[in-house]
Structure 1
Amino acid sequence: MTEVNWSRTDLIDESTEVVEHRTKHQKEKLEHTGGVSIKEFVDGRVKVTKVIVDQNGQEQIGKKEGTYITLSVPTLTVDDHNGFEQLEKSFVKYLDDIHKDIEITKDSKVLVVGLGNKTITPDAVGPFAIDSMQNEQLDNPSDHFVMYAPGVTGQTGFETSDFIGALTERIKPSLVLVIDALATRGSTRLCKTIQITDTGIHPGSGVGNQRTEVSKEVMGVPVTAIGIPTVVDSTVIIADAIENVFRSIAARIEEKGKPSGKLSVSSYTPDPDKRVDLNLIKPIFGEWSTWSPEDRLQLFEEVFSTKPERLIVTPKEVDVWVTKYAILISKCLYKWMDHKVK
């Protein structure tokens, strides 16, 4: 197959997955150079991935030098109150962690920028978060936050970074917080993940509409990006669906004749974390059924690259997800500020 550059993701650990699935030589080279430090652990129901990229790592995985913290609840649903509570708790904790070297005094200002198009729901996390913060300001006033939703270049005709740069120069904040919607290359991450990074952000990069970056190098002050993945490429959905079908059929064949299969009183659902031998379905579907998920994804990306099926997909409940995350981010920023200043 012709290799296609897969770039529709803004999540650092998905880039790490690309590295981890390369050749043994490249894995050893990454470990030897020490360019990327990866720590993964579970905090309650929240899966935490902390990635620190240095200059060598930046060249190897194509992600900017800095710290990336990804918080994910794989089983999260829109009405999962416990899941959102745990995600909220972890978010405040790691906001504090990533800003531990930034001093916020009683006179400091923090510029909070909500990026995105308010009229397009999957892209409205940023503006909705600003609206929620303005509502929060009525009940919990703070002199530290300056809130701004600049819209998108298609609406204003100006680069978003120019607006933010002018405002930063005027108010001289100690920190700029940028909130935006992201793209993911894994359907299990969709609306179930928050990424925090001190590297700033390239608005629109996840869907191929990259604008001027908003970063410390451009703004002259520390910039932290907070992102929620709300869209995924349709080819990912196709690849994930076929992977699930293959795993389910292989697991059923494997369970056939076993007591666990005979005693089942409902439809058999394989454990997603259990290793399944896909060679069992090779006689049915052929060689490609044993390919890695990455190879199948590469195939679909190549086949559908110029087809109308090449779509950007978002959950049907995206309006609920976006509203919930806007409220969560707003509450957490006020909690973090109260803790940070004290």
Structure 2
Amino acid sequence: MKDFTWTPRTDLALEAREMLSRKVREDIPGVVVETVEEEDVVITTVNITNAEAERIMGKGQGKYVTIEAQGLRDKNTPLQEKIMKKLAEELVGMVELAKNATVLIIGLGNRNVTPDALGPRAVEKIVVTRHLQDMLSPELKGGVRSVCAIAPGVLGITGMETVEIVQGIVSKVKPDLVIAIDALAAASSRRVLTTVQLANTGISPGSGVGNKRFGLTAQSLGAPVIAIGVPTVVHASTIAIDTIDTLQEHAPFARYFKSMEHLSDNDRKMIVSQVLPEVLGDLMVTPKEVDRFIEDIGVLIAGGINQAIHPHIDYENIYNYLH
């Protein structure tokens, strides 16, 4: 195995594995990948099982489940309901919760910046019940868990690190599980707003856009943390570098750009820097219809969490009530 460390500009473990496969062209010990393909959905599980795999992948040890459906951008209600159910199934399979468990939902991000507003938008649709536990009928108890939710804002607005706010809440609420919802960054434009990732490793707010904050993890919070995220942006520099790679590798372009086949990563970055100068900063790209997409995906994420946590609620028509 080559001594190769690669830090991909993506929050998706699946993409990190794909990038490494193109670089080292061999299996990585400690990284186990399983893929299940259905008619319009692809579910990929990446397990990172040891410290060396964690170092190479640039992702913490744990389980990452990616649900991909290209039709999510098409206002396809039956598909959204299907992904909602898949999300609920994967979430149930990722953690064991007692019937009387308390769950804290954290909506990360800035509600005033649309591509970063997924967490706050999703939290608005969560069925919160912690304040109602004493009022539940006997037949619902055990199937409607104690749930509380908050969107703590971002450092630039509150002046407090998100982890500081969440630690204070956790110390009072003492949840059995924390679920953090956040917008992510992808390395491929086709995965923007078409992909949901679940991870049992926690999350570092802002990591996808190069603004990594203190992480929300089991170690920092003292409770298990499940991270649920959807890519809403892609780095412009990543698109540019992918274009260079495509010109080199795919006919009929390859023969015209054969002289570029020995370009190093640094050479590619230098070329891109001429097109995207530092004065523009680290430019991010998002679809122009992102406001509609964020609303739809927020409903999807909230619906999946609600189904997983509150199994005794009738969800036959819940999608209609979440809008």
TM-score under structure 2 normalisation?
0.81
Aligned-residue identity in percent: 30
Offset of residue 175 of structure 1:
0.2
Evaluate the alpha carbon distance shift between residue 240 and residue 23 of structure 1 in structure 2; reply closer, same or farther with a 3 A threshold: closer
Distance across 2 between alignment mates of 1:46 and 1:183: 20
Q: Which of these two proteins has the greater Rg computed from alpha carbons?
A: 1
Counterpart CA distance in 2 for 1:174 and 1:62 is 28
In 2: Cα distance, 1:174 partner to 1:334 partner: 16
Selected match of 2:109 from 83, 103, 116: 116
- Measure the CA separation in 1 of the matches of 2:284 and 2:179: 26
Confirm or deny that 1:71 pairs with 2:67: yes
Q: CA deviation at 1:122?
A: 0.4
The more displaced of 87-96 and 182-191 is 87-96
Q: CA deviation at 1:333?
A: 1.4
User: What secondary structure does 1:104 align onto?
Assistant: coil
**Pairing partner for 2:126 from 133, 140, 165:** 133
Q: Which residue of 2 aligns with 1:40?
A: 35
Matched, 1:170 2:172: yes
RMSD between aligned alpha carbons?
3.1
The CA distance in 1 between the partners of 2:192 and 2:164, in whole Å, is 30
Q: Does 1:188 align with 2:190?
A: yes
Answering whether residue 318 of structure 2 is matched by residue 318 of structure 1, we say no
| Residue type of the alignment partner of 1:16 | R
Amino acid at match of 2:22: H
Which of the residues 219, 222, 225 maps onto 2:224? 222
Query: Unaligned regions of 5+ residues in structure 1, if any?
Result: 248-275
SS at match of 1:224: strand
In the TM superposition, 1:2-21 aligns within 5 A as 7-21=8-22
8 A contact 2:170–2:221 mirrored in 1? yes
Contact 1:117/1:127 (<8 A) preserved? yes
Distance across 2 between alignment mates of 1:83 and 1:302: 40
Deviations 1:197-235 (A, max 9, x none): 000000011111111000001111100000010011112
The answer to which of 332-341 and 162-171 deviates more is 332-341
* Distance in 2 of aligned mates of 1:222 and 1:68: 15
How far, CA to CA, are the matches of 1:310 and 1:165 in structure 2? 31
Supply the distance in 2 between the matched residues of 1:212 and 1:226 (Cα, whole angstroms): 17
- Is residue 96–residue 340 contact of structure 1 (8 Å, CA) maintained in 2? no
Q: After superposition, what is the alpha-carbon deviation per residue over 1:245-288, rounded to whole angstroms, capped at 9, x for unaligned?
A: x69xxxxxxxxxxxxxxxxxxxxxxxxxxxx961x4445x3315
Offset, 1:295: 9.7
SS at match of 1:77: helix
Which residue matches 2:45? 50
Decide which of 195, 198, 220 is 2:200's aligned counterpart.
198
Q: Secondary structure at the match of 1:181?
A: strand
Whole-Å Cα distance in 1 between the matches of residues 204 and 262 of structure 2?
Answer: 33
- In structure 2, the gaps of 5 or more residues are 137-143, 314-323
Name the structure 1 match of 2:278.
Answer: 306
Q: Conserved in 1, the CA contact under 8 Å of 2:129 and 2:145?
A: no
Which piece of structure 1 moves more, 206-215 or 69-78?
A: 69-78
Matches for 1:283-302 after TM superposition, within 5 Å: 283=255, 285-287=256-258, 301=272
Query: Any conservation in 1 of the 2:128–2:147 contact (CA below 8 Å)?
Result: no
Pair 282,202 (structure 1): closer, same or farther in 2 beyond 3 Å:
closer
- Mapped contact 2:43–2:66 kept (Cα < 8 A): yes
Q: Could you tell me how far 1:239 is from its partner in structure 2?
A: 4.7
From 90, 93, 97, give the equivalent of 1:103: 97
What corresponds to 1:254 in structure 2? none
How much does 1:147 deviate?
Answer: 0.6
TM-score (norm: length of structure 1): 0.77
